[in-house]
Homo-oligomer: A and B are copies of this chain.
Amino acid sequence: MNHDLERYRAPQNFCIQAADTVGKKGQPENKLAREQWLIDHSPELDALQNLFYADARRGLLLILQGMDTSGKDGTIRRVFHDVNPLGIRVHAFKSPSEEELSHDYLWRIHHAMPKKGEIVIFNRSHYEDVLITHVRGWIDEAEMNRRLRQINDFERMAVENNIVVIKMFLHISKDEQRERLQKRLDNTEKHWKFNLSDLEDRRLWDDFQKQYEYVITATNTDYAPWYIVPADSKSTRNVIVMQILLSHLRSLDMAYPKVDSSNWPKIVE
Contact = CB atoms under 8 A, between A and B. Distances in A.
Interface of A: 99, 102-107, 110-111, 113, 115-117, 146, 150, 153-154, 156-158, 160-161, 163
Contacts of A115: 99, 102-103
Contacts of A117: 102
A106 B102 contact: no
A218 B99 CA distance: 33
Contacts of A163: 104
Contacts of A157: 104, 106, 150, 153-154
Most-contacted residue by chain B among A110, A146, A153, A154 (CB, 10 A)? A110
A99 B117 CA distance: 12
The 4 A-B residue pairs with the shortest CB-CB distance, nearest first, are A104-B161, A102-B115, A153-B153, A110-B110
A161 B153 CA distance: 15
A161 B105 contact: yes
Nearest to A105: B161
Contacts of A102: 115-117
A107 B116 CA distance: 13
15 contacts: A99-B115, A102-B116, A103-B161, A104-B157, A104-B158, A106-B110, A106-B157, A107-B110, A107-B111, A107-B113, A110-B111, A111-B111, A146-B160, A153-B153, A153-B154
A184 B106 CA distance: 42
A116 B98 CA distance: 11
Nearest to A161: B104
Contacts of A105: 161
A157 B109 CA distance: 14
Nearest to A110: B110
Contacts of A111: 107, 110-111
A60 to B, nearest CB: 13
Given A150-B157, A160-B146, A113 B103 contact: yes
